[in-house]
Amino acid sequence: MTVRGRASTVLRVRGTVRHVLRRRAPDRDFDKATAEDFGLPRIADSGPVAADANPLAPDDRRHVLISALERITYLTQLADGKAAPLLALQATLAAVTVASADNFAGLFGGPALVAQTGAALLIGVYASSAAVVLALTLSVYFPVLSRGHGSVLFFEDVRHMPFEQYARQTRSLTENEVEDDLMNMIHASSAIASTKFHQLRWAYVLSAISLATWLPLMGWANF
């Protein structure tokens, strides 16, 4: 993640914490308040937090969950944007390669076995790395979505649910069920975002390899 991305994350988390604390103590000066003013232990003295140690109010808890889900959704969209240049690059390289296909015949027409082996090696590395890059970038755009547990908020669950069941579950939702749905969505979306960036990382590495082999190959074939 870039420095700008880290700064954006810190600011969003800081804003969420301020929102929660100000709702708890609207009459206090938040900038001058100490941890004890909000019933919180000092960081230096904090140990394992008990289950009943000043939990968030339901509205505040849902606000934190929704903020986390929005951040994860933004990261998945960021991954999609970073995959687009790779697709454009590979499409350009493939188009130029096809247009220069006639020139490759000269690489294999001579008697030199070393030259033929080198040309075959370059073509093989370029073609295989470009194919893997294409597969990885397409998987970024079309991730594998796993179904949850009958969520009325996660679209993949809603898609497989009859409308009557969806309407019945939505009308009978409780606060705890809404929070469970939000946490399930955060968990599923986190897995999707993490997989996308893992695939994107390898796609960039292999794209660099394909470009590094394509350049000398095209130079050799055309000059």
d(CA 149, CA 188): 11
Answer yes or no: is pLDDT of 92 > 50: yes
Looking at 63-77, 90-104, 188-202, which range is the least confident one? Answer: 90-104
Q: What are phi and psi of 173, to 5 degrees?
A: -60, 140
- Top-confidence residue, 202 or 218: 202
Are 48 and 96 within 8 A, CB to CB?
A: no
Please list, residue by residue across 78-114, b when 16 or more beta carbons sit within 10 angstroms of its beta carbon and e when fewer do.
bbeebbeebbebbeebbeebeeeeeebeebeeeeeee
| DSSP-based helix, strand, coil % in the chain, nearest 5 | 75, 0, 25
Which of 99-103, 172-176, 191-195 has maximum average pLDDT? 191-195
pLDDT for 8: 52
Q: pLDDT of 96-135, one tens digit each? A: 888 887 777 666 666 566 667 877 888 899 999 999 999 9
d(CA 223, CA 205): 28
